[in-house]
């Protein structure tokens, strides 16, 4: 899932982000404290520093294979 972290009334909150729109040739950075990937229902815990293969589903039926580095919850 793509989540968005925001600071509201002095408190950090996370909410699912339904859809991302990225213009052709544009770049979108996913990072702690903003838009980020949250993995759910994992078969085993992930180790910070390890890499996880992901497949991003694109509008129109395409897909994009990427590799994400696991970061600790405290990462900035």
CA distance 61 to 40: 23
Its pTM surpasses 0.85: no
Asked if pLDDT for residue 71 goes beyond 80, the answer is yes
**Contact assessment for residue 19 and residue 4, using Cβ atoms and an 8 Å cutoff:** no
Q: What value does the mean pLDDT take over residues 1-9?
A: 87
Cα 9 to Cα 16: distance, rounded to the nearest angstrom: 19
The whole-angstrom separation of Cα 54 and Cα 43 is 15
- pLDDT 10s digits, 14-64: 888 888 888 889 998 888 788 888 888 999 999 999 999 999 888 889 999
The pLDDT of residue 75 is 66
């Amino acid at each position: 899932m793509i989540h968005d972290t925001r600071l509201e009334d002095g408190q950090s909150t996370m909410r699912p982000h339904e859809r991302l729109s990225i213009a052709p040739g544009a770049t979108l950075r996913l990072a702690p404290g903003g838009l980020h990937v949250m993995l759910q229902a994992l078969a085993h815990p992930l180790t910070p520093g390890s890499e996880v293969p992901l497949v991003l589903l694109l509008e129109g039926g395409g897909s994009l294979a990427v590799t994400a580095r696991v970061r600790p919850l405290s990462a900035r």
